[in-house]
Structure 1
Amino acid sequence: MRKFGIALLSFILLISAVKAQPKHTLDKIAAVVGSGIILQSDIELKYATYVAQGMPPNASFKCNILQQLVSQKLLAQQAIIDSVDVKEDEVDNSVDRRMREMIQRAGGQDRLEQFLGRSVIQYKDEIRPDIKEGLIAQRMQQKITANVNTTPQDVKKFFDGIPKDSLPTFNKEVEVGQIVFQPKLNAAEKEAYKNKAEELRKRVLAGEDFGKLARLYSQDGAAAAGGDLGFNDRTGYVKEFTAMAFKLKAGEISPVFETDFGFHFLQVIERRGEQVHVRHIIIQPVVTQESLDRSKTRADSIYALMMKSQKNLDYFSYAAAAYSDDKETKFNGGMLLNAENVEARSTYIPTDKLDPQVALITDTMKVGSISKPFLYTGADGKKGYKILYLKSTTNAHKANLTQDYPKLKEYANNNKVNVTVSQWFEKRRKETFMRIDQEYQGCPTLKGWSTPATTISEVKTDEPKPADTKPAEVKQ
């Protein structure tokens, strides 16, 4: 969290530096793309974000930024022709998500507004058009590549086209299943946390400021924003939270209710169709040693049942579905998915990408074996117990079609997508009037992108022009 705060502070300071530059520099038109323009200030702000993310200052990166902005303009302009659009709710959600992240990193809305020199509402209005255009461009690109299909013949052709001495080497990979036992508090242990939430709710009902209490006492990332969660639809929350948020009218405050995250109460700020804007306060129970001991007893019991079963590996899948507290893996036979290849639902995970605790245990296991329950600490600092199953191990090797077909298919498909998009851009930019400012004429990525002057002079207009008329220059 501290690193995020420093990054945002750097970003804000860079924004301030950009504002302080001479006006004629900021207001310069860096590029004209069809009927749209790109300002120097657009490039400077995106460059500030790039530096704030910890990247070393590199002025040449502005060439890449301008190329991205020009590409976005081309896609967005084609989207108008093809009637591709995004819903206003999608834009609202994206803007709200951006603001929540910035507020959290700044350490509160007041500090962010102080850094920005304007209100959050004003800043949201300023960034909304760019975010909307970006979403439309993304949707247009998806349309361009919608019919891309990669066949087995395509994969083989792609693989055969890779020079043998350039074949990638894949690291050692494993397939690992897990059953997770999270400690659960009993009713008596939960009571104190529920009562604390009830007391805060009573203070709000008595007239105390909701946002202030959220900043002081709420225990999640939204606390810095006064508990504000922005707009969301019914899929944006867990079911208990959704049921409460969509039951209330604007301004109403809910009773205290429980989810897997803790005890909440919320206030509906605004309803907009199937979107609701809420803020909440959450009190998260702390795990007790007694509850941790109970989870170990459960884990030991399930492990013993699997060891007694003659088909203990088949029982692992059943036990994961029946007993695991990890919702992401319990209905997948307990199998972990490769976080870098979730869409393909790949269960093959490079060992260097495994959780260190899991890697340490599986390194001593034989394929087909099940580990004894062990204590683990999650990324959120919470403790629990796990049982692991090592399904397979694949040693490091040069890529081949037999072992690596799913990966190679993904590479081949990405290559077809990139070629399709590149061909579209090449054709579209030749059909679109473009003018790149002299400052960026030397950018390798933008070389030849400006419409030649001879082409401009050949464009027919309704009004005759003198023979020596030159193309109008874009005012800087």
Structure 2
Amino acid sequence: MRKFGIALAAFLMLVSVSKAQRTLDKIAGVVGSSIILQSDIEQQYAQYIVQGGNPNPAVKCQVMQNLLTQKILAQQAVIDSVTVKEDEVDNEIERRMRSMIQRAGGQERLEQFLGRSVIQYKDEIRNEIRESMVADRMRGKITEKVSVTPLEVKTYFEHIPKDSIPTFNKEVEVGEIVFNPTLTKDEKAFARQKAEDLLQRIKKGEDFGNLARLYSQDPQSAIEGGDLGFFDRTTMVKEFTAWAFKLKAGEMSPVFESDFGFHFLQVIERRGEQVRARHILIIPQLTQASLDRAKLRADSVYNLLTKNKQVDFSAAAGYYSDDKETKYNGGMMLNAENVQSRTTFIPTDKLDPQVALVIDTMKVGGVSAPILYTGQDTKKSYRIYYLKSVVDAHKANLAQDFPKLKDAAYSDKLNRVVSQWFEKKRKENYIRIDNEYLTCGDLKKWVSTPQVAAK
């Protein structure tokens, strides 16, 4: 709590500095026809502080370099007709503001720190966010055709110095079958009635936002009075989407149920295929009876796997598991830090401690008895685990680690392609940097030759 308070105090101080800077602003950099203001750098540095970063003037050098690359990418995007839609910009602004409001402890406190309203601040950052999104899309276009062949992976590995070959930690492949407690209609009745009562209070004139802050069990939106910002048809669960896109601005839905609990929503604004809505969520409380029923199902499947051996683990996961992410993957858990490669090999130091504790005493091919698992959201479920394989810690080699080495070779090639592109563009564009930033080692190579000579 103390660290958070220090971060907010630092942010407030930097906002004050930023305000003063806007009064006596200066041009910190020039890239072709675009300029970078000192206030742009101060503002991003302030955001870095409020997000938990430690005060460090060297970060401003990195901010300047990021802005230089962003300007070059954005200018090339104009030439190549690379754009972003305004509703995409809206969504990104809303996402950022939700995060900032949550960190600040509410909209009013954030506005105090900013010294202006959230609406004003959104207008101020709109162009910057649009440019940043265009730059990201342009970067994607530059690298969209990059790929690596098996020969390139082999060549990459062979060029790693012998004393620099990485060591990979012990890894495991773990499967799971998840049994979520399910509530009966009677067990859900209290939560539904609470949602119904809140809906009636709003219809009688009470403020939606105030009731959402007090009673909604969606922590992210509750702090904003239930406001979810703009979203499209692919963002929310189907029940929520159905009502959100059915209603007109100002209309409220009845109470409805989704996988999250009981909601009702009000549409605030519609913009093409985007809807802005607010909602109140009431989550039914689990009962011991519901947990007991989940345990009974888990025991039954465990007997099928171990005593009767009527099904294999993959088939059982596909048929019985309540986890939508793993059941269609034969129950196998994916490495959360390497989702793109969809690898099932997980370093043991990255495993959920509850899972690691169970598989630590298991043999390869073994299946655990049902375990009561508590998630980060405090939800409980019963789970059966399967240890498919174990790979001990070892020095990297092509036979065992080709997927990892392929990722590394791809990243290396990606960086080289981007670096070569920027090297060419730096020579084609006039770039000037204020003398204050020429002390940043990496930035000297960015400036045009006459400035270097003058310096």
TM-score category (smaller protein): over 0.9
Out of 38, 46, 60, the position equivalent to 1:40 is 38
Instruction: After superposition, give the CA deviation of every residue in 1:265-308 in whole Å (9 maximum; x if it has no partner).
Output: 00011111111110000011121111111111111111111124
Partner of 1:474 in structure 2? none
Whether 1:300 aligns to 2:299 is yes
> Aligned residue pairs: how many?
453
The residue identity in structure 1 corresponding to 2:379 is: K
Aligned counterpart, 1:445: 442
Within a 5 Å distance, the mapping from 1:44-83 to structure 2 comes to 44-83=42-81
In structure 2, what is the Cα distance between the partners aligned to 1:227 and 1:4?
28
Are 1:428 and 2:425 an aligned pair? yes
5+ residue gaps in structure 2?
A: none
Is 1:11–1:49's contact at 8 Å kept on the other side of the alignment? no
**1:149-183 residue CA offsets vs partner (Å, 9 max, x unmatched):** 10000000000000111100000000001011111
Partner of 2:252: 253
After TM superposition, the structure 1 stretch with the greater mean CA deviation from structure 2, 163-172 or 115-124, is 115-124
Q: Which of 80, 101, 104 is the matching residue for 2:102?
A: 104
How do 1:5-24 residues align onto structure 2 when only pairs under 5 Å count? 6=5, 9-10=8-9, 12-19=11-18, 21=20
- Give the match's secondary structure for 1:250: coil
Equivalent runs, 1:451-466 vs 2, <5 Å: 451-453=448-450
CA deviation after TM superposition for structure 1 residue 50, in Å: 2.3
3-state SS, counterpart of residue 55 of structure 1: coil
Pairing partner for 1:29 from 27, 30, 53: 27
Change (3 A) 1:100 1:329: same
Residue 23 of structure 1: how far off its partner (Å): 5.2
Give me the whole-angstrom Cα distance separating, in 2, the residues matched to 1:236 and 1:447: 44
Relative to structure 1, the CA distance from residue 323 to residue 263 in structure 2 (aligned partners, 3 Å threshold; closer, same or farther) is same
Deviates more, 1:104-113 or 1:84-93: 104-113
Hey, what's the Cα distance between the residues in 2 that align with 1:10 and 1:317? 53
User: Which of these residues, 338, 342, 346, is aligned with residue 341 of structure 1?
Assistant: 338
Match of 1:137 in 2: 135
Contact kept in structure 2, 1:5 and 1:106, CA below 8 Å: no
What is the distance in 2 between the residues matched to 1:161 and 1:351? 29
SS of structure 1 residue aligned to 2:445: coil
Equivalent residues in 2 for 1:197-236 (5 A)? 197-220=195-218, 221-236=220-235
Q: Calculate the TM-score normalised by the size of structure 2.
A: 0.96
1-structure distance, mates of 2:142, 2:446: 21
Taking the aligned partners of 1:71 and 1:309, their CA distance within structure 2 comes to 62
- Aligned-residue RMSD, C-alpha: 1.9
CA distance in 2, matches of 1:424, 1:20: 36
The aligned counterpart of 1:399 is: 396
User: How does 1:183-332 map onto structure 2 within 5 Å?
Assistant: 183-220=181-218, 221-310=220-309, 312=311, 315-332=312-329
Distance 1:5 1:224, change over 3 A: farther
8 Å Cα contact 1:175/1:336 also seen in 2: yes
Deviation at 1:114, TM superposition (A): 2.3
When the two structures are superposed, what TM-score results if normalisation uses the length of structure 1?
Answer: 0.92
Cα deviations by residue, 1:449-476 (Å, 9 ceiling, x for unpaired): 22122899xxxxxxxxxxxxxx9xxxxx
1:103-130 alpha-carbon deviations (Å, 9 max, x no partner)? 2222222222222221111111111111
1-side partners of 2:166 and 2:295: how far apart?
A: 43
Q: CA deviation at 1:409?
A: 0.2
Residues 1:86 and 2:84 aligned together: yes
CA distance in 1, matches of 2:231, 2:214: 24
The amino acid that maps onto 1:298 is R
Alpha-carbon spacing, 1:210–1:180, altered in 2? closer, same or farther (3 Å): same
Say if 1:95 and 1:73 are closer, same or farther in 2 by CA, change over 3 A.
same
Question: Offset at 1:228?
Answer: 0.3
Deviations 1:401-427 (A, max 9, x none): 000000000000011100000000000
Secondary structure of 1:334 counterpart: coil
Say if 1:177 and 1:335, in contact at 8 Å, map to a contact too: yes
Contact 1:253 1:265 in 2 (8 A): yes
In 2, distance between residues paired with 1:417 and 1:106? 37
The residue type paired with residue 384 of structure 1 is S
